[in-house]
Amino acid sequence: MRRRLALLLLLASLGCRAAGNDGFTVVRVDAVKLRLFWQDEHGQPLRRLDRLASWLSSQGRTLSFGMNAGMYHADGRPVGLLVVEGRELSPLNLDDGQGNFFVKPNGVFLVDARGARVIDAADYPAQRTGVRLATQSGPLLLKGGVIHAALRPTSASRYVRNGVCASGGEAVFVISERPVTLHEFASYLRDGLGCRDALYLDGAVSSLYAPALGRRDRWHDLGPLIAAVD
């Protein structure tokens, strides 16, 4: 208990709060501390959270939290929208296709002057003004508290998965500690955390960097990376 309290106090000092229960780890991050990363100063994809930590350290900055932030091509390019420090590096993708990303509606996690939000990707063009960071993925697990109709309780597809929901000044990042279905994941976000709108970020490659929790996952090459930086 004392160790858990110490970890929570440390994360709070970094602008993060964490909890673990029911086979999920939850990290709550102050939206003002969030940053998105994809490439280094030479235009090379960073690909892993430990590389991001080292790259930031060389600049005198510290990575206190990191997670994979959406789906990507084999070379690390984002499949959909990516906005970094107000610059659109990859456009919104509303195309049809195969795979979870293209299950409509998919969604966008963004941070603007109002804080952090998860929205339907189709609604993004009308809300893009003033966006500081944004990443697109899919499917949209929850919309207005309703689980996506395509997510079946009887599905046999189980992976370690991660996703995000948000409420004003706080973003809530979740990673499962065991393989779960998309319906189980969405149900936990809604019923366990009270999320109303939530976005699936990815599965199988899901990774968490949270040194205060003893997590420095580096099992997979990734695409966009979401982080809290000091």
Task: Give the Cα separation of 209 and 182 in Å (integer).
Answer: 22
Task: Give the Cα separation of 175 and 148 in Å (integer).
Answer: 19
DSSP 123-171: GGGGG-TT-SEEEEES-EEEETTEEPTT--TT----B-EEEEEEEBTEE
Task: Give the Cα separation of 160 and 45 in Å (integer).
Answer: 24
Predicted pLDDT at 16: 56
Amino acid at 196: R
Task: Give the Cα separation of 77 and 222 in Å (integer).
Answer: 9
What are the sequence ranges of the domains in the chain? 19-33+69-213
For residue range 87-100, list pLDDT tens digits in order: 999 999 999 999 99
In the predicted model, is pLDDT for residue 71 greater than 90?
A: yes
Q: How confident is the model at residue 116 (pLDDT cuts 50, 70, 90)?
A: very high
178: left (phi over 0), alpha (psi -120 to 50) or beta: beta
For residue range 141-193, list pLDDT tens digits in order: 999 999 999 999 999 999 999 999 997 789 999 999 999 999 999 999 999 99
Nearest residue to 101 (alpha-carbon basis) of 121, 131, 125, 75: 121
Whether 207 and 67 have beta carbons less than 8 Å apart is answered as yes
161-167 sheet: strands from edge to edge: 16-21, 24-30, 170-176, 161-167, 198-203, 140-143, 146-147
Predicted pLDDT at 38: 97
Residue identified by tokens 């500690």 is 177
